Amino acid sequence: MIDCHAHTNMSYCAEKALTPEIYADLVKTDTEVDAVYVTDHGMAVYFPSEMAWSWQYISDSRIFDEHRDWGNARLESHLANLAKFRIQGVLPGLEVEMMHDGRLTIDDSFRDRIDILIGSVHYLPIDIEEDRKLILKDWKTHTKRLINTGIDVLGHPFRWINNQFPVTRAIVREIVKEAKSARVSMELNGHYVVPTDVDMLQECVDLGVPVSIGTDAHAISEIGNFAYHFQTISLAGLSLANIKLYSPKRK
Ligand SMILES: [Zn+2]
Ligand SMILES: [Zn+2]
């Protein structure tokens, strides 16, 4: 199995002891894990923690421009550090968000050095007390736009919206179709249980969309754990052999 989504202590929300060395050891010792893509948060690379957690940059991308040089230097040294572990199966990725103007939280000059670029929704600048229809509309617009930014994988595609209210199969299909037309893979993310994951897997198989498997590990206790993935695949009445698995290419 290739873990296409894992964090190190470069991300503010991850355990301090979680380093690339830990993943190198995992690949070496765990026969189930063939490689790990380290996909730390773009927001943790580009912003100091207080700014990152304020989410202000999502609706004001000038904040990104102000921090761009600082973030680029951090990303440069982060990638140099990760490069030492490539031979051991620890590979470079990044998990980014989309800002209001459609730009991602990564300087475009780095895109071809990131083997897997995951685009995720963690926060939307909308009033969650609003009418469900409006929330759904805003989320859909944002997600479809994100799918078309050149990302490789849509990270935990339905986590945010499922945290607001239940999501229908028709909505799942609509997003999987958008991913298909943009040649983007859908992620099966093991960090939280998401009720639509079964529907998503079945739609991906039906429409021939690749599935990216990620633990989204934030702690040493979570690394290399694919229990949720296997359980969800089986709940969907599928097996690994039925699913087109996404495998990142070196860029
Ligand atoms: Zn995420
Ligand atoms: Zn993540």
Residue 57 pLDDT > 90: yes
**C-alpha 243 to ligand 2 mean position (Å):** 22
Kindly state the average pLDDT of the residues 124-146.
91
**C-alpha 237 to ligand 1 mean position (Å):** 26
Q: Which of 118, 46, 192 is nearest to 55 (CA)?
A: 46
**C-alpha 99 to ligand 1 mean position (Å):** 15
Q: Edge-to-edge strands of the sheet including 185-189?
A: 2-6, 35-41, 90-96, 116-119, 153-154, 185-189, 211-214
Position 126 confidence tier, pLDDT thresholds 50, 70, 90: confident
Report how many domains make up the chain. Answer: 1
Q: How confident is the model at residue 250, as a pLDDT?
A: 85
**C-alpha 138 to ligand 1 mean position (Å):** 19
Kindly state the average pLDDT of the residues 10-26.
97
Ligand closest to 218 (CA) is: 2
- Using DSSP's 3-state secondary structure scheme, residue 223 falls into coil
Name 75's Cβ contacts closer than 8 Å, sequence gap at least 6.
Answer: 45, 46, 94, 106, 107, 110
Residue 243 pLDDT > 80: yes
**C-alpha 43 to ligand 2 mean position (Å):** 11
Q: How confident is the model at residue 130, as a pLDDT?
A: 80
Residue 214 pLDDT > 90: yes
**C-alpha 146 to ligand 2 mean position (Å):** 16
Here the tokens at position 171 are: 């909505």
Q: What is the mean pLDDT of the chain?
A: 96
* Residue 251 domain flag: no
Beta carbons of 172 and 201 less than 8 angstroms apart: no
* Residue 250 domain flag: no
Residue 129 pLDDT > 90: no
* Residue 64 domain flag: yes
Q: How confident is the model at residue 189, as a pLDDT?
A: 98
Q: How confident is the model at residue 128, as a pLDDT?
A: 76
Domain encompassing residue 162: 2-242
Here the tokens at position 227 are: 């229990």
Position 127 confidence tier, pLDDT thresholds 50, 70, 90: confident
Residue 187 pLDDT > 90: yes
Residue 158 pLDDT > 90: yes
Kindly state the average pLDDT of the residues 15-34.
97
Kindly state the average pLDDT of the residues 175-186.
98
Q: How confident is the model at residue 159, as a pLDDT?
A: 97
Q: How confident is the model at residue 251, as a pLDDT?
A: 78
SS3 breakdown of the chain: % helix, strand, coil, rounded to 5?
45, 15, 40
Query: For the whole prediction, is pTM greater than 0.85?
Result: yes
**C-alpha 60 to ligand 2 mean position (Å):** 22
**C-alpha 122 to ligand 1 mean position (Å):** 6
* Residue 247 domain flag: no
- pLDDT tens string 80-122: 999 999 999 999 999 999 999 999 999 999 999 999 999 999 9
Ligand closest to 94 (CA) is: 2
Beta carbons of 108 and 71 less than 8 angstroms apart: no
* Residue 171 domain flag: yes
Residue 163's domain is classified under what CATH number? 3.20.20.140
Here the tokens at position 211 are: 């599935």
Position 47 confidence tier, pLDDT thresholds 50, 70, 90: very high
Name 21's Cβ contacts closer than 8 Å, sequence gap at least 6.
Answer: 85
